[in-house]
Amino acid sequence: MRTSSTDQGRDRLVGSSYVDELAAQLCGDYRHVAPAIVRACVDAEYSRLADARLQSFIPILVERAVRERLGRPTVTPTAA
C-alpha cells in the first residue's frame, strides 16, 4: 500500500515535538476541555494543513484554528 504525500506530511508534523508542545500549552490554557479533545483538535488542524506550501506558518495557523474551535479559555482570577 502506497502512502500519499499528504499522509507522509501529516505523520511528520503530528509526530513532531512542536505539535506536542503546542498541545501541552493549549491543554494548560483550556483546562476545562479534556486533553484528548484538545489533542484531537491540534492533530486535525495539522492534518488539514499538511500540504501547505509554507510549512513555517503551520504552527501559528494551527494554534489560531484550535483556539477558534475551542473558544475563550477560562481564566481563574488570582488574588492581588
16-66 pLDDT per residue, tens: 788 899 999 999 999 999 999 999 999 999 999 988 888 888 899 999 999
Does residue 66 belong to any structural domain of this protein? yes
Does residue 43 belong to any structural domain of this protein? yes
Residue 72: what residue type? R
- Report angle CA 20, 21, 23 to the nearest 5 degrees: 65
**Number of domains observed in the structure of the chain:** 1
Only one residue has cell 479534556, namely 34
Distance CA(33)–CA(43), nearest Å, equals 15
* H or E stretch covering 18: helix 17-29
Does residue 75 belong to any structural domain of this protein? no
Does residue 80 belong to any structural domain of this protein? no
Q: Which residues contact 8 (CB under 8 A, 6 or more apart)?
A: none
Q: Domain residues for 62?
A: 5-70
Q: Is the pTM of this model over 0.85?
A: no
Does residue 76 belong to any structural domain of this protein? no
Instruction: State the DSSP string of 67-79.
Output: HHHH-SPP-----
What's the pLDDT at 75? 63
Does residue 77 belong to any structural domain of this protein? no
